[in-house]
Amino acid sequence: MAIIDDLLNLLKQRDLADIKVEEFVLGLGYSGVRLSTGNVGVCYTPKEIVTGCCNISGRAGSIAGSSAIQIMELSRSLDLSEAVLGVATINALSHYLIDKKRATYEIWEDSNVLQAVKLQKKDITVMVGFMRPLLKDIEKKVSKLFILDRDSSRWGPNCLPDSAADVILPRANVVIITGSAIVNHTIDHLLNLSRKARQIAIAGPTASMLPDPFFKRGVTAMGGIKVVNPDKAMQVLAEGGGVHQLKKCSKFYVIKPR
């Protein structure tokens, strides 16, 4: 079973039928969903969505007021504009549920994922997706760091095309994967390739979801954000903001299995 299916099945077991999507912003950097509960979920907007077409979402004008448990099913879609909406909805629902079952997890607030990943100098560390805020700290602590990224402008001696994952990931002791791998449907393959790693972390706003299906597949930590000022966050997303601006209306956290 794919991880997104496992996650959807877990959410369907909860009492979420009355929750509606109140607002959706398809932003240039990140997108967001606000629920009738007030919870906000954020998801990376793949660059492929915002190039080459003036009509990005065929659902525009019909999303607000929809059932959240119906909209979350779009996370399976191969249409990335729909997948973004679905994943953002999963994240918003996840925050609603995590608030109710905090004792189930070990949650470190005001933390980033590197604080939960025990790096050793001898480690071969692989970062899937170029995550600049983590880069310098990792380079200080390990002897070998590989970055896998789709953006050819970043390729160099230690930054390789993401197509190299099949060769590089099985060699890694520590793997840190961008949450955007969830929305582009590569997460299952990446986790399968990483199964020999001592530690696996998923990081970024898109990774702000119920962690149980990830923990079952060997993930040791997930680093995400929780929006604490919904009005400001939705404004930031609508105005093309990114993580830097979201910091002012959100809290970073790490969640681990207890």
DSSP conformation letters of 11-54: HHTSS-TT-BEEEEE--SSEEEEEETTS-EEEEE--GGGGSS-S
Which pLDDT does position 220 carry in this prediction? 97
Helical residues (DSSP H) of 186-257, grouped into ranges: 187-193, 212-215, 230-238, 243-246
Side chain identity at residue 99, one-letter code:
D
Res. 34: pLDDT tops 80 = yes
Side chain identity at residue 135, one-letter code:
L
Side chain identity at residue 124, one-letter code:
I
Q: DSSP letters of 92-138?
A: HHHHHHHTT-GGGEEEEET--GGGTS---TT-EEEEES--HHHHHHH
| Cα end-to-end span (Å), the chain | 24
Which pLDDT does position 84 carry in this prediction? 97
Which pLDDT does position 222 carry in this prediction? 98
How would residue 156 be classed by pLDDT, with cut points 50, 70 and 90? confident
> How large is the average pLDDT for residues 188-193?
98
Q: What element of type H or E holds 257?
A: strand 250-257
Q: CA 30 to CA 45: how far, in whole Å?
A: 5
Instruction: For residue 37, report the phi and psi dihedrals to the nearest 5 degrees.
Output: -80, -15
How would residue 52 be classed by pLDDT, with cut points 50, 70 and 90? low
**Mean confidence (pLDDT) of the chain:** 93
Least confident of 55-64, 180-189, 217-226: 55-64
Res. 54: pLDDT tops 60 = no
Contact 170, 196 (CB under 8 A): yes
User: Is residue 251 classed as helix, strand or coil in its secondary structure?
Assistant: strand
How would residue 219 be classed by pLDDT, with cut points 50, 70 and 90? very high
Which pLDDT does position 158 carry in this prediction? 86
CA distances, 8 to each of 66, 94, 118, 213 (Å): 17, 11, 31, 10
Res. 121: pLDDT tops 70 = yes
Res. 45: pLDDT tops 60 = yes
- Other CB atoms within 10 Å distance of the CB of residue 123: 21
> How large is the average pLDDT for residues 5-22?
96
> How large is the average pLDDT for residues 3-27?
96
Q: CA 186 to CA 178: how far, in whole Å?
A: 11
Over residues 85-94, the pLDDT tens digits come to: 999 999 999 9
How would residue 57 be classed by pLDDT, with cut points 50, 70 and 90? low
Which pLDDT does position 58 carry in this prediction? 62
Q: Which domains does the chain have, with CATH numbers?
A: 3-104+229-248 (3.30.390.100), 106-223 (3.40.50.11590)
Residue 3, exposed/middle/buried by CB under 10 A (0-12, 13-18, 19+)?
A: middle
Res. 161: pLDDT tops 60 = yes
Q: For residue 106, give every residue at least 6 positions away whose Cβ sits within 8 Å of its Cβ, in sequence order, or none.
A: 255, 256, 257, 258
Res. 62: pLDDT tops 70 = no
> How large is the average pLDDT for residues 63-74?
94
In percent, the amount of the chain with pLDDT more than 70 equals: 95
